[in-house]
């Protein structure tokens, strides 16, 4: 396997499109085995079937392989990024690169979720840029749509074919990609409850709490909905002179919220803001990370001089987090 | 165990009003000093006459009483405003408390203070030190009952101090029940949304209300006030309605600083969603942090 990608200190992000178990192993096995031989921490976050293939092929070396069933290694993109970072923080060794085989799950996802995961795949190039991690993302062409397979070559700068690396000609700058992809967040219907614009963060929070209670949320779920809106609003209001307007309405299974800010001069929300979990030192994006983590989805949309954050919070009829 | 506040309504010492009859059950000299200091300063501000009923080993003069309060900015001038009654005057020649005679004395003092133009008579009593047997408890209870009846006309207010370390728990329960209110020190923070009160057994803070970006400074200062405590600190959070991420981070930073001195910070009464957020971020592994039982919504 060529080592030119493996010797750098920053993040290396490759895709691997495979159509059979043999094709999967042709890339995955040398990647994993070489890492283990070099004493690097190696994680395989893929399907249980692929984990089994790898273990069988590795023989004794399989004991040293870290594995995670990929569907549970971060249910949503923000959790996925946190899971990568947690693994890195737990296993990092000074001066040593680590390897991750990270296969996203695409089956059964809604169009909105597919867009979010594509956006995250692209965003990893920015979010993890400083990490000494070599990541290969396998895409099973027997299972994913042609559209998803094509996106892999837009969101990864290099594609692996067996042990050979090919630059992806259609690789796109992550910020440009994020701006272009996916449906914009829902806009509020005329019947939505409305408040603001205001600079008063606690007024926004209390309004959100009141509307969430009207929607039937109670106890922990009500408190988490209040927390998510408060942190998202707090993030937007941190810019000098900022004011936000809040719209809330019910959709099946969720409470939809829209936070609108006419951006003060120079203030804008980067597309990948709030994807990195809080570290020891405080960061202005910490609150947005929490809002993303507590929401079913959080989308950032720049509309000229205005930022729109769309949040979906688990509603009364969401039985999953009851 | 005797609970310092039990089911009684709490009143901050600075909020005492004529007609209040409150007990202070304490087991920390620091708490008593702060409370007594607040009591005396409150009397000065409100133009009250102050009567101190000292028990055994209590302060015998102004200076001894002011010393006990450890005023950080130096003692206030209480000349002419403060009268101290020693244990020999509280009781009969045999050393027994005489409730009726003591009440008569208080009534006369109240009349005198009114004639002298004071708003009200402010009484601090430390009679728990006179308890030696069951008969003393009975007499003290009789005195407390008479005192309670005396307050209907709002001509006096009283704080009765009982040292948890020196009194029998059964007697304390009965004595505490004779008071409609319990008194505590003034809050370190009191805004429309947030109240933070110093607590003493164990040492720590009770946080009530909402912490958001506008009140981080207040919370930071309140934490600073217990930064020098030797030993573990407990933060009681069951009345926290909202605590944002920045506020949580202040608590974690505080715990880390305490851990560096080999002390712990215990958070008790946390609402479940705050526990969940702390765990989500991984802050449950913060050095020095102990997470106590959660509180129901």
Model ipTM value: 0.88
Mean pLDDT of all residues in B151-160: 81
Q: What's the pLDDT score for residue B92? A: 62
Is it the case that residue A2 has pLDDT exceeding 80?
no
- Which domains are present in chain B? 9-184 (3.40.50.300), 189-291 (3.30.750.24)
- State the Cα–Cα distance between residues B9 and A294, nearest whole angstrom: 38
The dotted CATH code for A193-314 is: 3.30.565.10
Of the candidates A86, A201, A290, the beta carbon closest to that of B277 is on A290
The predicted-structure confidence for B185-208, as pLDDT tens digits, reads as follows: 999 999 999 999 999 989 999 999
At B51 the pLDDT is 92
Determine how β-strand A297-303 pairs with β-strand A306-314: antiparallel
A310-to-A58, A291, A297 alpha-carbon distances in Å: 45, 11, 8
| pLDDT tens digit sequence for B259-285 | 999 999 999 999 999 999 999 999 999
Residues of chain A numbered 173-212 and touching chain B (CB < 8 Å) = 201-202, 205
Task: Write the pLDDT tens digit of every residue in B33-89.
Answer: 999 999 999 998 888 999 998 888 888 888 888 888 888 778 888 888 888 888 777
- Which pLDDT value is given to residue A269? 87
Strand B265-268 relative to strand B289-291, pairing: parallel
Q: Which of B210, B245, B281 to mutate against chain A (most A CBs within 10 Å)?
A: B245
Cα first-last separation, chain B: 26
Query: Who's near B157: CB < 8 A, 6+ residues apart?
Result: B16, B17, B18, B19, B20, B21, B48, B120, B121, B122, B123, B151
Q: What is the pLDDT of residues A147-167, one digit of tens each?
A: 999 999 999 999 999 999 999
More confident residue, A42 or B90: A42
What's residue B68's pLDDT?
83
CATH architecture of A12-180: 3-Layer(aba) Sandwich (3.40)
Which residues on chain B are in Cβ contact (under 8 Å) with A238? 213
Which residue among A223, A238, A278 places its CB closest to the CB of B273? A223
The DSSP secondary-structure symbol of B46 reads T
Q: How confident is the model at residue A130 (pLDDT cuts 50, 70, 90)?
A: very high
Question: Cβ A277–B193 below 8 Å, yes or no?
Answer: no
> CA–CA separation, B128 vs B140, rounded Å?
8
Q: How confident is the model at residue B91 (pLDDT cuts 50, 70, 90)?
A: low
- Inter-chain contact B281–A230, Cβ cutoff 8 Å? no
pLDDT for B2 equals 61
Condensed to tens digits (0 to 9), the pLDDT of residues A3-14 reads 444 455 799 999
**B240-263 tens-digit pLDDT:** 999 999 999 999 999 999 999 999
Binning pLDDT at 50, 70 and 90, where does residue A1 land?
very low
Mean pLDDT for B97-103 is 84
pLDDT at A117 over 80: yes
How confident is residue B7, by pLDDT bands cut at 50, 70 and 90? low
Distance CA A135, CA A45 (A): 11
Closest Cα in chain B, distance from residue A185 (Å): 25
CA distance linking residue A233 with residue B248, whole number of Å: 17
Q: What is the predicted pLDDT for the residue at B75?
A: 81
pLDDT for res B130? 78
Cα(A99)–Cα(A88) distance, integer angstroms: 10
**Interface contact A226, partner B, CB < 8 A:** yes
* CA gap A138, A72 in Å, rounded: 16
The mean pLDDT value for A76-100 works out to 93
Indicate the length of chain A as a whole number.
Answer: 322
Query: What confidence tens digit (pLDDT) does each residue in A231-248 have?
Result: 999 999 999 899 999 999
pLDDT of residue B95: 65
Indicate the pLDDT class of residue B152, thresholds 50, 70 and 90.
Answer: low
Q: Tell me, yes or no, if B242 comes closer than 8 A to chain A by beta carbon.
A: yes
Task: Tell me the average pLDDT of chain B.
Answer: 88
Which of A79, A237, A278 is the best mutation test for B, with the most CBs of B within 10 A?
Answer: A278
Mark yes or no for CB contact A202/B280 under 8 Å: no
Task: Give the pLDDT confidence score for residue B87 in this predicted structure.
Answer: 74
Chain A residue with the nearest C-alpha to that of B277 = A290
B residues 180-219 near A, CB within 8 Å? 193, 210, 212-214
Confidence class for position A261, pLDDT limits 50, 70, 90: very high
Q: Are B239 and B209 in contact (CB under 8 A)?
A: yes
Residue B172, pLDDT score: 86
- What is the phi/psi pair of residue A224, to 5°? -70, -35
Phi, psi of A126 (to 5 degrees): -90, -45
Tell me the pLDDT band of B94, cut-offs 50, 70 and 90: low
Domain assignments of chain A as residue spans, ordered by start: 12-180, 193-314
**Average pLDDT value for chain A:** 92
Alpha helices in A196-243 (DSSP H): 201-214, 219-237
% of chain A surpassing 70 pLDDT:
96
| Residue-level pLDDT at A45 | 98
């Amino acid at each position: 396997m060529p080592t030119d990608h493996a010797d750098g200190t920053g993040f290396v992000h490759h895709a691997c499109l495979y159509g059979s178990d043999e094709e999967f192993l042709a890339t995955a096995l040398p990647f994993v085995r070489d890492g283990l031989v070099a004493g690097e921490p190696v994680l395989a976050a893929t399907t249980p079937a692929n984990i089994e293939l790898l273990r069988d092929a590795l023989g004794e070396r399989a004991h040293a392989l870290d594995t995670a069933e990929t569907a549970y290694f971060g249910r949503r993109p923000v959790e996925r990024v946190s899971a990568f970072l947690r693994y890195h923080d737990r296993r990092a060794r000074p001066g040593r690169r680590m390897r991750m085989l990270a296969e996203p799950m695409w089956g059964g996802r809604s169009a909105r979720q597919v867009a979010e995961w594509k956006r995250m795949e692209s965003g990893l190039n920015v979010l993890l840029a400083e990490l000494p991690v070599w990541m290969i993302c396998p895409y099973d062409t027997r299972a994913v749509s042609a559209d998803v397979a094509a996106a892999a070559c837009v969101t990864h700068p290099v594609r692996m074919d067996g042990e050979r690396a090919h630059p992806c000609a259609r690789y796109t700058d992550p910020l440009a990609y994020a701006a272009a992809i996916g449906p914009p967040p829902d806009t509020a219907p005329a019947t939505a409850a409305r408040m603001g614009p205001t600079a008063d963060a606690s007024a926004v929070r209390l309004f959100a709490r009141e509307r969430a209670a009207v929607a039937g949320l109670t106890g922990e779920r009500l408190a988490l909905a209040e927390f998510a809106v408060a942190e998202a609003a707090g993030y937007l209001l941190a810019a000098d002179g900022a004011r936000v307007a809040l719209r809330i309405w019910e959709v099946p299974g969720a409470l939809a919220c829209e936070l609108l800010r006419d951006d003060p001069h120079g203030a804008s929300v980067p597309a990948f803001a709030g994807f990195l979990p809080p570290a020891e030192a405080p960061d202005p994006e910490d609150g947005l990370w929490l809002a993303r983590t507590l929401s079913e989805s959080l989308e950032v949309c720049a509309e000229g001089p205005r930022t729109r954050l769309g949040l979906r919070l688990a509603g009364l009829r969401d039985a999953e987090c009851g | 165990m005797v609970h310092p506040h039990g089911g009684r309504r709490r009143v901050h010492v600075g909020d005492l009003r004529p007609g209040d009859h409150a007990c202070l059950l304490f087991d920390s000299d620091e708490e008593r000093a702060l409370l007594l200091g607040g009591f005396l300063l409150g009397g000065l501000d409100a133009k009250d006459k102050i009567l101190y009923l000292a028990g055994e080993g209590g302060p015998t003069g102004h200076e001894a009483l002011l010393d006990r309060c450890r005023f950080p900015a130096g003692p206030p001038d209480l000349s002419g405003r403060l009268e101290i009654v020693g244990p020999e005057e509280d009781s009969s020649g045999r050393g027994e408390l005489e409730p009726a005679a003591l009440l008569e004395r208080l009534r006369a003092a109240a009349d005198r203070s009114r004639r002298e133009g004071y708003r009200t008579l402010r009484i601090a009593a430390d009679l728990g030190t006179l308890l030696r047997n069951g008969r003393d408890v009975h007499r003290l209870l009789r005195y407390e009952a008479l005192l309670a009846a005396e307050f209907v006309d709002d001509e006096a207010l009283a704080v009765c101090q009982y040292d948890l370390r020196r009194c029998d728990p059964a007697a304390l329960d009965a004595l505490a029940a004779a008071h409609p209110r319990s008194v505590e020190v003034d809050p370190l923070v009191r805004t429309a949304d947030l109240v933070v009160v110093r607590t003493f057994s164990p040492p720590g803070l009770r946080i009530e209300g909402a912490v958001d970006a506008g009140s981080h400074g207040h919370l930071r200062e309140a934490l600073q006030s217990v930064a020098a405590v030797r030993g573990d600190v407990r933060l009681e959070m069951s009345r926290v309605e909202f605590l944002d991420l920045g506020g949580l981070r202040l608590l974690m930073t505080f715990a880390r600083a305490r851990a560096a001195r080999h002390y712990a910070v215990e958070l008790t009464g946390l609402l479940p969603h705050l526990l969940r957020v702390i765990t989500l971020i991984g802050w449950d592994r913060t050095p020095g942090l102990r997470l106590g039982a959660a509180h129901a919504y």
